[in-house]
């Protein structure tokens, strides 16, 4: 038996994956996958029995919900035990508390690493270090392997959790693109921005970034077209006009405002104001 402590690594930013000291332990049963995902998203914190019940069955739990939930926990513990036979620490990673269950000990998730890098990137943004911000935020985004928990059945709780993760991901992407524009990488951003705007057609920040990148790359007409497409979508879907900052960006492009070439333009004129709105 290895003297190394049992290490549980769980991937949530994409398909669900779980490895115990290198041995795959990802459950295949849908309900067990839900339980593991919810415990992993709250690693080190107790997930109460009522929360697990709500996730698994919403407002309609079966009569045997208590014993059924205990069975799911038992099966998850058995899979950990089977991965490292005779290692009591492995089975002890999934602990029972009086009010629920928690993943404890050496449990690592890609969500925790994403949050760590995102926080470091935000600190670099605040410090005005665009190179470090782009690096940290880019590394955070590369942890994503697809939509969060893309292959897990989502109940009420996990739907909220994954929606929050996706919103955070988009915010980090916006900040990383902002840093790259400040570094003069507008040409390299065009392909990514076109695809991202197509996926988020009502996102004014991303449309503004694409307009700036196109303008700086010498594509004034295409830049103005992005504004008109945004305006049409907002009017059709929400019945509103683009925000005042976007309208001023549009006018600046029409007039060839030289300040648009300034690396600090996105942060000072667009990004920061939209975030604080």
d(CA 237, CA 240): 8
Give me the mean pLDDT over the 74-83 stretch: 91
Comparing 33-37, 42-46, 271-275, the range with the smallest average pLDDT is 271-275
209-223 per-position pLDDT tens digit: 999 999 999 999 999
Give me the mean pLDDT over the 124-137 stretch: 96
CA dihedral for 39, 40, 45, 51, sign (positive or negative): negative
Topology at the third CATH level for domain 187-277: 1.25.40
3-class SS letters over 8-40: EEEECCCCCEEEECCEECCCCCHHHHHHHHHHH
Q: Looking at domain 8-107, which CATH architecture does it have?
A: Orthogonal Bundle (1.10)
d(CA 103, CA 96): 9
**pTM (two decimals):** 0.90
Comparing 102-106, 164-168, 260-264, the range with the smallest average pLDDT is 260-264
Domain boundaries, the chain: 8-107, 187-277
Please tell me whether residue 146 adopts helix, strand or coil conformation: coil
**Would the pLDDT of 19 be above 60?**
yes
| Rg (alpha carbons) of the chain, rounded to whole number | 23
d(CA 191, CA 205): 16
């Amino acid at each position: 038996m290895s003297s190394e402590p049992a290490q549980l690594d769980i991937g949530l930013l994409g398909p669900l994956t779980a490895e115990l000291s290198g041995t795959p332990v990802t459950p295949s049963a849908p309900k067990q996958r839900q339980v593991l995902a919810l415990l992993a998203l709250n690693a080190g914190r107790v997930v109460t029995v009522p929360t697990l019940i709500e996730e698994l069955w919403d407002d309609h739990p079966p009569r045997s919900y208590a014993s059924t939930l205990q069975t799911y926990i038992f099966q998850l513990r058995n899979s950990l035990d089977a991965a490292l036979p005779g290692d009591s620490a492995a089975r002890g990673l999934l602990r029972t508390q009086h009010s629920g269950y928690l993943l404890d000990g050496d449990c690592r998730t890609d969500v925790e690493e994403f949050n760590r890098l995102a926080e470091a990137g935000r600190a670099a943004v605040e410090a005005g270090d665009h190179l470090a911000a782009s690096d940290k935020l880019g590394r955070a985004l590369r942890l994503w392997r697809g939509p969060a928990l893309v292959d897990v059945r989502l109940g009420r709780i996990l739907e909220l959790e994954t929606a929050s993760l996706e919103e955070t991901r988009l915010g980090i992407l916006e900040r990383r693109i902002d840093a790259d524009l400040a570094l003069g990488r507008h040409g390299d951003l065009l392909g990514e921005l076109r695809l991202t705007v197509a996926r988020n057609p009502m996102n004014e920040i991303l449309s503004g970034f694409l307009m700036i990148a196109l303008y700086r790359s010498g594509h004034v007409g295409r830049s103005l077209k992005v504004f008109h497409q945004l305006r049409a979508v907002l009017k059709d879907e929400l019945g509103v006009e683009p925000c005042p900052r976007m309208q001023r960006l549009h006018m600046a492009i029409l007039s060839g405002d030289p300040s648009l070439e300034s690396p600090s333009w996105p942060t000072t004129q667009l990004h920061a104001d939209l975030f604080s709105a």
